[in-house]
Amino acid sequence: MATLGNPRNTIEILNKYKFVFQKKFGQNFLIDTHVLEKIIRAADITKEDFVLEIGPGIGTMTQYLAENAREVMAVEIDRNLIPILEDTLAGYDNVTVVNEDVLKLDLPEVVQKENAGKPIKVVANLPYYITTPIIMGIFESHVPLYSLTIMVQKEVADRMQAGPGSKDYGALSLAVQYYAKPYIAANVPPNCFMPRPNVGSAVIRLTKHEKSPVEATDEKLLFRMIRASFNQRRKTLANGLKNSQELSYSKEQIESAIEKAGFPPAVRGEALTLQQFAQLSNILAEMTID
């Protein structure tokens, strides 16, 4: 079977199956072998690994993963791609293709069954409109995980690794950094894909923390608070928290918690580190108990 990491072989297989790109699935297939090799290196795939691939497309990256991993489960939502994947992956006996929406899979159960509950590595070339729900869905499922290595829009990768005070810093930065350590492994220009996207992309590896870097007594409250403080970026932290539909604290409670944490009254959410958000959410969590 010809490897798919070049435009000619990709066009050939698409023509053979008269494949039509689906706008709703945000399909862009990689056609650059150097980028594929960088992803494998960034994900640190070895023969010990069980890899979950999300959005295999026509199997371009899946072939590379199959060569390097012990076993690959490729989850593809578009059933029109299933016959193509059966063809392009016919030479590999260590790949299972699942026609499913990854957000509907019970990932902890999959890992229990396929990898005896041991941590897995996730690799994905994600449609950009659904990047965040998939990443957060995986983290929040608490699936045993070493790392997620994903192709995302460049500006989303920048947001994931941004720190306090920068324009890219926001709820996504904090949510990702709560669960993992982000590292941008490669920038990928539009001409590495077919069809060409309108934006630059990046490969980012999110290495799961063995233990979260902060102690939050109420994880859900922490994330509600983070969302509230970035919903209206120009407002002070106190106003953001007061105006949130998701929080039910009084103005006095919020102001008193901010003071107790030692922050100035007019502080903005974008100035706070993850540690400081956790500290504030722990103060608020105590107030609820009183």
Residue ranges at the known binding site: 28, 30, 55, 76, 101, 125
Beta carbons of 52 and 122 less than 8 angstroms apart = yes
Q: At what angle do helices 274-289 and 171-179 cross, to 10 degrees?
A: 90
Question: Quick check: helix, strand or coil at residue 73?
Answer: strand
Long-range contacts for 9-13 (Cβ within 8 Å, ≥24 apart)? 10/58, 10/60, 10/194, 11/194, 13/58, 13/84, 13/87, 13/88
Q: Which residues contact 145 (CB under 8 A, 6 or more apart)?
A: 119, 120, 121, 122, 138, 139, 208
Residues that constitute the known binding site for S-adenosyl-L-methionine: 28, 30, 55, 76, 101, 125
Of 168, 203, 198, the C-alpha closest to 185 is: 203
Distance CA 247, CA 245 (A): 6
